[in-house]
Structures are given as structure tokens and as C-alpha cells.
Amino acid sequence: MDALIRHETIELYRRLLSQGPTEEQRRVLLALLRCLDAQDLVQPTRH
């Protein structure tokens, strides 16, 4: 997974958390982060 995409996703997550996301938004973002983590394990990020 592209490290930039992962970084942007984490930034978006932090921004939403600071605004008090709905439970659904929080679940979707956590699922996306878990998916990105799993991708990193399968195909390590190349720098």
C-alpha cells in the first residue's frame, strides 16, 4: 500500500476525530486503517 495514501488516511481520521465523528464514520475509518495495516503485512511498503 502506498505510504502516502496511508498517511493521508491517518490525517483524515485524526481530523474527523477532533470534530466528533459519528459512530459509523469511526467504524469505517478504523476498518480502512486495519485494511491498510493488513496490506502492509502482505506487501511491505517500498521506500
DSSP character string of 1-47: --HHHHHHHHHHHHHHHHT---HHHHHHHHHHHHHHHHHHHHSPPP-
Give the pLDDT confidence score for residue 46 in this predicted structure: 58
16-47 residue pLDDT tens:
778 777 888 878 878 887 887 776 666 655 55
Domain segments of the chain as ranges: 3-42
How would residue 9 be classed by pLDDT, with cut points 50, 70 and 90?
confident
**pTM for the predicted model, two decimal places:** 0.44
Give the pLDDT confidence score for residue 32 in this predicted structure: 81
Give the pLDDT confidence score for residue 42 in this predicted structure: 63
**Per-residue pLDDT at 7 exceeds 70:** yes
